[in-house]
Amino acid sequence: MAESNRRGEDAADEHVDGVFDDAVDDDAQDDESGVSGGGTATKSRKLTDGKGSVKSTEKAEKVGFFGRIGRFVREIVAELRKVIWPTRNELLTYTAVVLVFLTVMMTVVTLLDLAYARGVLFVFGDAK
DSSP string, 57-120: -PPPPPP-HHHHHHHHHHHHHHHHHH--PPPHHHHHHHHHHHHHHHHHHHHHHHHHHHHHHHHH
Please report which confidence band the pLDDT of residue 125 belongs to, taking 50, 70 and 90 as the band edges: confident
Q: Is the pLDDT of residue 108 over 60?
A: yes
Identify whether the C-beta of residue 94 lies closer than 8 Å to the C-beta of residue 86: yes
AA identity, residue 11: A
What digits encode the pLDDT tens for the residues 70-97?
Answer: 999 999 999 999 999 999 999 999 999 9
3-state secondary structure of 48: strand
